[in-house]
């Protein structure tokens, strides 16, 4: 297979670009199935997480379709590589989550050390606003961003505010479409509980608890995204269904991570 090992920088975008070029050249014609994620990872000399991010990018841009229990197929009329790149200019979602965990964990700890009573109240109000919009994706996203920026503001360090704001601005279209693809009301409610735990730790002036709560929150989001992608590529017979679910219903049920 004409694949080349990629350099360890912006891996998912290099992988996506290479696959897009192979699709454009006819190496993978419309309707054909791409190699499995594990095979691609071995051929490219990268991790499965990087391949996973690349496939998500290609799928969100319309170049490929992930068919549950069957594989990854090239779409009949894929978009051009240029169009895909313009729509997806940010870092990979898992790469960004790792950066946010590192930075925002320390931001939460510092905020818990220096935040005023007014800052703590503002965080709690932000959680309340998010709870009021738990079923509204766009409004919830806005409140989510507001919470993290308020947390950074509570540190009293304007440079940290800019860093956190920059991390959120890097999410690009791929991130937003990925969230809409995988998020459910259940996950939104868990995010609400995560934010409440962070706000409580700040109000209690407990840096260790605030850092740990932020780490748990972002690690959970990363796990849910990975689980969502994995479940979309698993054969239906290997998936778990709630006890007592009839076999026919299990096979018919769409997977919504």
Largest CA distance in the chain: 62
The answer on 79 and 128 residing in a single domain is no
The answer on 110 and 216 residing in a single domain is yes
The answer on 205 and 97 residing in a single domain is yes
The answer on 108 and 218 residing in a single domain is yes
Which CATH number is 189's domain given? 1.20.120.530
What pLDDT is attached to residue 6? Answer: 54
What pLDDT is attached to residue 230? Answer: 62
The answer on 79 and 200 residing in a single domain is no
The answer on 158 and 37 residing in a single domain is no
The answer on 61 and 97 residing in a single domain is no
Q: Which long-range contacts (CB under 8 A, 24 or more apart) does 26-31 make?
A: 27/2, 28/74, 29/74, 30/74, 30/75, 30/76, 30/77, 30/78, 31/73, 31/74, 31/76
Could you tell me the residue range of the domain that residue 74 belongs to? Answer: 11-87
DSSP string, 69-84: TTEEEE-SSPPPHHHH
CA distance 37 to 75: 17
22, two tokens: 């192979």
Which strand (E) or helix (H) includes residue 64?
A: strand 64-67
The residue with greater pLDDT, 181 or 163, is 163
Region 229-251: mean pLDDT is 45
Domain boundary among 87, 103, 126: 87
The verdict on residue 247 lying in a domain is no
* Residues 44, 48, 53, 56, Cα dihedral to 10°: 100
The answer on 154 and 133 residing in a single domain is yes
What pLDDT is attached to residue 56? Answer: 82
Of the ranges 52-56, 99-103, 228-232, which one carries the lowest mean pLDDT score? 228-232
Residues of the chain with pLDDT > 70: what percent? 74
Residue showing tokens 């993290």? 148
The answer on 129 and 71 residing in a single domain is no
What pLDDT is attached to residue 228? Answer: 62
The answer on 214 and 103 residing in a single domain is yes
CA distance 180 to 159: 30
CA distance 251 to 249: 5
The verdict on residue 159 lying in a domain is yes
The answer on 65 and 113 residing in a single domain is no
What total number of domains does the chain contain? 2
Region 124-129: mean pLDDT is 94
The residue with greater pLDDT, 51 or 109, is 109
The pTM for the full model equals 0.62
What pLDDT is attached to residue 119? Answer: 96
The verdict on residue 56 lying in a domain is yes
The verdict on residue 206 lying in a domain is yes
What pLDDT is attached to residue 173? Answer: 54
The residue with greater pLDDT, 150 or 82, is 150
Which CATH number is 59's domain given? 1.10.10.10
pLDDT tens digits along 70-111: 888 999 864 444 444 445 555 677 888 889 999 999 999 999
């Amino acid at each position: 297979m004409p694949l080349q090992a990629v350099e360890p920088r912006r891996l998912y975008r290099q992988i996506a670009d290479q696959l897009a070029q192979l699709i454009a050249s006819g190496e993978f014609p419309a309707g054909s199935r791409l190699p499995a994620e594990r095979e691609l990872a071995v051929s490219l000399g990268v991790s499965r997480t990087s391949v996973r991010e690349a496939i998500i990018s290609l799928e969100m841009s319309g170049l490929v379709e992930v068919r549950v229990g069957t594989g990854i197929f090239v779409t009949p009329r894929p978009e051009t590589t240029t169009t895909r790149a313009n729509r997806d200019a940010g870092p990979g979602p898992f790469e960004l989550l790792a950066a946010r965990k590192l930075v925002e964990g320390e931001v939460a700890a510092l905020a818990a050390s220096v935040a005023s009573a007014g800052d703590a109240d503002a965080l709690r109000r932000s959680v309340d606003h998010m709870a009021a919009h738990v079923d509204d994706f766009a409004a919830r996203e806005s409140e989510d961003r507001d919470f993290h920026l308020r947390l950074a503001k509570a540190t009293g360090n304007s440079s940290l505010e800019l860093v956190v704001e920059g991390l959120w601005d890097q999410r690009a279209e791929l991130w937003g479409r990925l969230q809409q693809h995988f998020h459910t009301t259940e996950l939104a409610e868990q995010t609400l509980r995560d934010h409440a735990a962070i706000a409580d730790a700040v109000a209690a002036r407990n840096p260790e608890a605030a850092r740990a709560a932020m780490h748990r929150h972002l690690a959970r989001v990363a796990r849910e995204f990975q689980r969502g992608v994995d479940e979309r590529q698993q054969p239906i017979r290997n998936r778990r269904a709630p006890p007592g679910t009839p076999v026919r219903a299990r096979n018919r049920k769409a997977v919504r991570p």
